[in-house]
Amino acid sequence: MSSPTYGSDQPGPNPNHPQGSAPPPPPGQQGWSAPPPPPAPQGYGAAPGAPGGYGAPGGYGAPAGYGAGQRPGQVTAAAVIGIVIGGIGSLFGLLGLFALGLLFQISAILGLLFLLSLATAVVVLVGGIQAIQGKSPRLLLLGSYASIGVQLLYTIFAISYGETWFSGLLSFVLPILIVFLLLQPQSKQYYASRGIGY
């Protein structure tokens, strides 16, 4: 009995290919191809720009840009300080109206300064509320400038009567701080991006 011979047209082991490997496909037929590579993992390991990757727009860790809607801390701090000192000044000013006649009996200048400080406190309060709402800081700036002027007059009046001017130091420093915060480049850039001028 003769053993069968294997040619190129008969199935069986091919001497050109090692044991266990697939023979080449017949002409005109497509053979097996390598499997596609696995998809990139989603999340931090994905390449920038890949869906769901760290650097992708809208991905989990995409850093938020500084936009026109984000109020910088300087503006927030100035508005909060304005609301606090304006609110306290307005409250004490309204309570002090009951003693306004006594103040004018002591000194007409002191009574006038009291009325001016009450007016500036109300302006600073309203300006702080507007600034926290994203509106123009102009009223808060004007009220702060007026408050600085009134406190300066109070200081001159107190020194002329032999009193210490340190009693109104905090009322003098806080409006200056408001002006300083609102004139910072970040604050100006924020209002410029919203089309709001000083």
Per-residue pLDDT of the chain (198 residues; tens, 9 = 90+): 555 444 445 555 555 555 555 555 555 555 555 566 665 555 444 444 444 444 444 444 433 444 456 889 999 999 999 999 999 999 988 888 887 778 778 788 888 888 999 999 999 999 999 999 989 999 999 999 999 999 988 888 878 876 655 556 777 899 999 999 999 999 999 999 888 877
| Residue 43 near residue 37 (C-beta atoms within 8 A) | no
Torsion of CA 84, 150, 148, 93, to 10 degrees: 0
d(CA 179, CA 141): 6
d(CA 59, CA 47): 11
| Tokens 């210490």 sit on residue | 164
43 in helix, strand or coil? strand
| Residue 117 near residue 162 (C-beta atoms within 8 A) | no
For 55, half-sphere exposure in the C-beta direction (CA atoms, 13 angstrom radius) is 6
| Tokens 């009995």 sit on residue | 1
